Amino acid sequence: MTLALSIGILVAGGVFMLLQRGMIRIVLGFIMLSHAVNLILMSAGVTSRRDAPLMATADPATAADPLPQAFVLTAIVIAFAITIYMLTLAVARSDDDTEDPS
Amino acid sequence: MNAALLPLIVAVPLLVAALLVVLDDSPAVRRWLMILPSVGALAAGGLMIAETADGTVLAHNVSLWPNGIAIPFVADAFTALVLTTTALLTLVASAFAIAVGTVRARYFPVLVLVLSAGVYGALMTGDLFNLFVFIEVMLLPSYGLLAMTGGFTRLTAGRLYVTVNLLTSTIFLAGVGLIYGVAGTVNLAELAGAAHESPLVAAAAGVCLLALSVKAAVVPVHGWLTRAYPATSPAVTALFSGLHTKVAIYAIYRIYAVVFDGDSRYLWIGLVVFSATMVIGVMGAVGQDTTRSILVFHMVSQIGYILLGVALFTPLGLMAGIFYLIHHMIVKASLFLSTGAIEHAYGHSRLDRLGSIARREPILAAAFLGAALSLAGLPPFSGFVAKLSLVTAAVDAQQWAVVATAVAVSLVTLMSMLKIWGTAFWGPKPDDEEEVAGSGTGIDSQAPLGSPAATAEADGGAAPATQTAVAAPAATAPRPEDGSATRSRVRPAVLLPSVVLTLVTLGIGLGAEGLLSLSSQAAAGLLDTSAYVEAVIGR
C-alpha cells in the first residue's frame, strides 16, 4: 500500500513538473517519474520476501527476486546519463519558452 | 551461420566505436572504421536471410545462461530482412555523411556506430527488458547526433526529442515492470500468447505498445517527429528515418504477434488509429514549404500504411506490411538523401527559393523522381507492389473504409510529391538564388554542442569564402540562361547514395517476387510463433 501510494505521488508530481515550461523543471519531473517507475519495477518482484538472494545461504521461500533489482540498477544508470545530458541542453540555450521565428 | 555469432553483430560496432574514440586523429581511419562495421552487418544480414528463408529460427543465449536471466538473441526471417535493410541504410547514410562532410563533426562516427549497434540489438533481442536497453543504446547517441549537426533550431528540436523519447522510454519501462509483475517473465518466447489468455497481461503489454506507438510517431502522438527531424542535418535525418521509427514498428509487429498471438479483439483499435495516421500525416504535408518537412510528414502518413499490416493480421496483410516496411525504409532514405544533396549544394530546402534543379542536376532529379513515384505507389517501383498488396489484403479482410483511405491518401501523396517536383525541379529559377546559395554552410559546421555563438562564428567565417566562390561564376555569367545556370553543383559522391537507393527500389519493384516470398516467410513466422518459441525455450 505504501509502495502504491509513493508511486502515485511520484507520478503525479512528475507529470505536474513535466507540464511546466522551464527545462530544469522538466528534468526534475523526469527524475521523479523515473523513481516512480523504479518503484513499479521493485513492486513487480514480491516485496514481502526480503532476504539476500544468495544461492548458498538463502531460503528460496524468503529470498528476494533479484531480477527486478537488476532491472532497476540498469534503469537508474540510463536515467542518470540522460538527466545529465538534459541538464547540458538546459544550459546550452537559455530561453525555453519562445518558438524560433523561422 | 552459427547462432552463437549473433551477438557479434551488436558487439563489433560497439568495439569499433570504442576504438574510434581512441583513434580519432586520422580522417581516413575514422571514415573506414565507420563504414566497415556496416559492411560487415550487411554481409551478416545477407547470410541470415539465406539461413532463415526456409523458416529456421536462430536463437542464442549469451554465455548460455538459462532462460529468464539470459540475454537472448533471436533471428528469424523478419529480423533478417529488417536487419539487412538497416545495415544498408546505415552504410548509405554514412557514405552521404562522408561526402557532405557531416562526418567531420567530432565523435560523429562513434555515435553512428553505437546507434547502429543499438538498432541491431533491438531487432534481435528476444526479451522485453533488453529491448528497452537496446532502444536506449540507440537513442542516447541519437540525442547527440540530433543536437550536434543541423541548423539553429537544432537545440530546441533536441530538447523536444529528448523529452518525448525519455518520457516514452519511461512508460515502456513501466510497462515492462507491469508485465513482469503479472506474468513473471519478460522473455518474449515465454510470454507467447499470454496477453491472449490474460487481460492483465494484455493491459500491461498495452502500456508497452502505447510507448512504442509514440516512438513510431503514430497519430495523435506524432508531433515530435515532424518538429525534430527537419532541424538536424540531412545525413542524420536520413539515418534516423531509416532506423528509429522502424525499430518501434518492428517491435509492435513482434510484440503483437508473439505476446498477443494476433488477438482479433484489439485489431479495430489499430485500424482506426493507423487510418487516421495515414490521413493526418498526408494532410500535414500539404501545409509545409520546405522539402524536408514535407517528407517528414509523409513519413508519418506512410507509418500508418506499414502498421496497417499488423492491424489486419492476415497472412496477406502481414506480408504486405513487411514488404511495405522494407520498401519504405529504402525509398524514404533515398528521398531524404536526394533532397539533402540539394540542401547541401544550394544551402537550403525552401521550395519558394529553389527552381529548375532538373536542368542543372538531371541525375539527381531522376533519382528523386524515381523515389517520389515509388513513394506514391506507381509502377514499376517497389511502392506499387507494396500498396497493391496492402490494398488487396484490406479488400480480402473486407475493410472497405481502410481501402478507400489508403487509395485516397496515395493520390494526395502523389500530388504532394509533384509539388516538390513542380517547384524545386521544374519550376522557374528564383531571382535571388545566387544570394542565398552559400547561406547554408552552417548545416555541417563543426561547432561544439550547445554554443550558438560558435556556430555563428563558423558561419561568419565560412560565408565570405563561399560567397566569393559563388560570386565568381555570377560575375562571368550575368544572365541566368548562361553556363552557370546549368552547371551542376552536386558532386558525384553526394549524388551516389540517393541514386543507389532509387536503383534498389526500382530493382525491388521489377523483381518483387523475391522480396515478396521472403516477406511471406516472415509473415508466416509471425502468424505461427511456435518455431520462434521452440528455438528460444526448447534448448
Q: What is the number of domains present in chain B?
A: 1
The better pLDDT of the pair B479, B74 is held by B74
For residue B182, the chain A residue with the least C-alpha distance is A44
Which residues of chain B have a CB within 8 Å of the CB of A81?
140
Query: How far is the CA of B54 from the CAs of A42, B46, B49, B512, in angstroms?
Result: 42, 14, 9, 18
Q: Which of residues 33-92 of A touch B (CB under 8 A)?
A: 33-34, 36-37, 40-41, 43-45, 67-68, 71, 74-75, 78-79, 81-82, 85-86, 88-89, 91-92
The alpha-carbon gap from A81 to the nearest alpha carbon of chain B, in Å, equals 9
Q: Would you call A23 and B159 a contact, using CB atoms and an 8 Å cutoff?
A: yes
Q: How is B188-208 classified by DSSP, letter by letter?
A: TTTTTTHHHH-HHHHHHHHHH
Query: How far is the CA of B378 from the CAs of B291, B326, B373, B480, in angstroms?
Result: 20, 17, 5, 35
* Closest by Cα among B175, B46, B85, B67 to B126: B67
- Residues B2-27 pLDDT 10s: 788 888 999 999 999 998 888 767 77
In a domain? residue B127: yes
Interatomic CA distance for residues B280 and A98, integer angstroms: 26
Confidence at residue B147, expressed as pLDDT on a 0 to 100 scale: 78
Interface test with A, best of B170, B186, B207 (most A CBs within 10 A): B170
Q: Would you call A40 and B158 a contact, using CB atoms and an 8 Å cutoff?
A: no
In a domain? residue B482: no
In a domain? residue B422: yes
- Residues B396-428 pLDDT 10s: 988 899 999 999 999 888 888 888 888 888 878
Which residues of chain A have a CB within 8 Å of the CB of B169?
78
Cross-chain CB nearest to A78 (options B136, B178, B449): B136
In a domain? residue B442: no
User: What's the grid cell of residue A64?
Assistant: 528476494
Q: Is the pLDDT of residue B272 over 60?
A: yes
The better pLDDT of the pair B490, B500 is held by B500
In a domain? residue B201: yes
Confidence at residue B483, expressed as pLDDT on a 0 to 100 scale: 47
* Closest by Cα among B281, B289, B151 to B216: B281
Q: Is the pLDDT of residue B459 over 60?
A: no
Helix ranges (H only) for A2-101 are: 2-18, 23-44, 66-92
Phi-psi region of B537 (alpha: psi -120 to 50; beta: other; left: phi over 0): alpha
Q: Is the pLDDT of residue B66 over 50?
A: yes
In a domain? residue B394: yes
Q: Is the pLDDT of residue B386 over 60?
A: yes
The alpha-carbon gap from A57 to the nearest alpha carbon of chain B, in Å, equals 20
B68 touches chain A (CB under 8 A): yes
pLDDT band at A94 (very low <50, low <70, confident <90, very high): low
Which residues of chain B have a CB within 8 Å of the CB of A74?
129, 133
User: Helices B382-396 and B291-312 meet at what angle, rounded to 10?
Assistant: 40
Write down the mean pLDDT value for chain B. Answer: 83
pLDDT band at A99 (very low <50, low <70, confident <90, very high): low
Interface test with B, best of A47, A69, A71, A80 (most B CBs within 10 A): A71
User: What's the grid cell of residue B500?
Assistant: 543507389
Q: Would you call B155 and A93 a contact, using CB atoms and an 8 Å cutoff?
A: yes
Q: Would you call B173 and A37 a contact, using CB atoms and an 8 Å cutoff?
A: yes
DSSP state of B23: T
Domain assignment of residue B375, given as a range: 3-431+488-537
How many C-beta neighbours within 10 Å does residue B347 have? 21
pLDDT band at B59 (very low <50, low <70, confident <90, very high): confident
Q: Would you call B133 and A78 a contact, using CB atoms and an 8 Å cutoff?
A: yes
Which residues of chain A have a CB within 8 Å of the CB of B162?
82, 85-86, 89
The alpha-carbon gap from B72 to the nearest alpha carbon of chain A, in Å, equals 15
A28 touches chain B (CB under 8 A): no
Longest dimension (CA), chain B: 77
Lowest average pLDDT, out of A36-40, B166-170, B356-360, B441-445, goes to B441-445
Confidence at residue B11, expressed as pLDDT on a 0 to 100 scale: 92
Those residues with Cβ within 8 angstroms of residue B198's Cβ, 6 or more apart along the chain or in another chain: B182, B183
Amino acid at B230: P
Q: Is the pLDDT of residue B482 over 60?
A: no
pLDDT band at A96 (very low <50, low <70, confident <90, very high): low
Q: Would you call A91 and B147 a contact, using CB atoms and an 8 Å cutoff?
A: no
Q: Would you call B180 and A68 a contact, using CB atoms and an 8 Å cutoff?
A: yes
- Residues B517-537 pLDDT 10s: 889 889 988 888 888 888 888
Q: Is the peptide bond before B464 cis (omega within 30 degrees of 0)?
A: no
Which residues of chain B have a CB within 8 Å of the CB of A75?
173
The better pLDDT of the pair B356, B165 is held by B165
Interatomic CA distance for residues A99 and B345, integer angstroms: 28
Interatomic CA distance for residues B490 and B10, integer angstroms: 35
Q: Would you call A102 and B136 a contact, using CB atoms and an 8 Å cutoff?
A: no
Cβ contact B201:B182 at 8 Å = yes
Q: Which of residues 153-182 of B touch A (CB under 8 A)?
A: 153, 155-156, 158-159, 162-163, 166-167, 169-170, 173-174, 176-178, 180-181
For residue B152, the chain A residue with the least C-alpha distance is A100
Instruction: Provide, rounded to the nearest whole percent, the portion of chain B with pLDDT above 70.
Output: 88
Interatomic CA distance for residues B269 and B24, integer angstroms: 49
pLDDT band at B1 (very low <50, low <70, confident <90, very high): low
The alpha-carbon gap from B170 to the nearest alpha carbon of chain A, in Å, equals 6
Q: What is the pLDDT averaged over residues B144-172? A: 83
Q: Is the pLDDT of residue A36 over 90?
A: yes
Instruction: Provide, rounded to the nearest whole percent, the portion of chain B with pLDDT above 90.
Output: 32
Confidence at residue A95, expressed as pLDDT on a 0 to 100 scale: 56
Residue spans per domain, chain A: 2-47+64-92
Q: Would you call B163 and A26 a contact, using CB atoms and an 8 Å cutoff?
A: yes
Confidence at residue B539, expressed as pLDDT on a 0 to 100 scale: 52
Interatomic CA distance for residues B349 and B340, integer angstroms: 8
Confidence at residue B486, expressed as pLDDT on a 0 to 100 scale: 59
The residue assigned the cell 522473455 is B187
Q: Is the pLDDT of residue B197 over 90?
A: no
Instruction: Provide, rounded to the nearest whole percent, the portion of chain A with pLDDT above 90.
Output: 36
Q: Is the pLDDT of residue A63 over 60?
A: yes
Interatomic CA distance for residues B461 and B440, integer angstroms: 13
B67 touches chain A (CB under 8 A): no
Interatomic CA distance for residues A85 and A73, integer angstroms: 19
Cβ contact A96:A21 at 8 Å = yes
For residue B167, the chain A residue with the least C-alpha distance is A30
Query: What is this structure's pTM?
Result: 0.87
In a domain? residue B183: yes
In a domain? residue B174: yes
Which residues of chain B have a CB within 8 Å of the CB of A82?
140, 143, 162, 166
Lowest average pLDDT, out of A70-74, A97-101, B459-463, goes to B459-463
* Closest by Cα among B472, B444, B446 to B100: B444
The better pLDDT of the pair B366, B487 is held by B366
Which residues of chain A have a CB within 8 Å of the CB of B68?
67
Confidence at residue B463, expressed as pLDDT on a 0 to 100 scale: 39
Q: Is the pLDDT of residue B504 over 70?
A: yes
Strand partners, B125: B73
pLDDT band at B452 (very low <50, low <70, confident <90, very high): very low
What ipTM is given for this predicted complex? Answer: 0.91
pLDDT band at B473 (very low <50, low <70, confident <90, very high): very low
- Please state the length of chain B: 539
Strand partners, B61: B72
Interatomic CA distance for residues A7 and B267, integer angstroms: 32
Sign, CA dihedral B419-B424-B426-B428, equals: positive
The residue assigned the cell 506507438 is B213
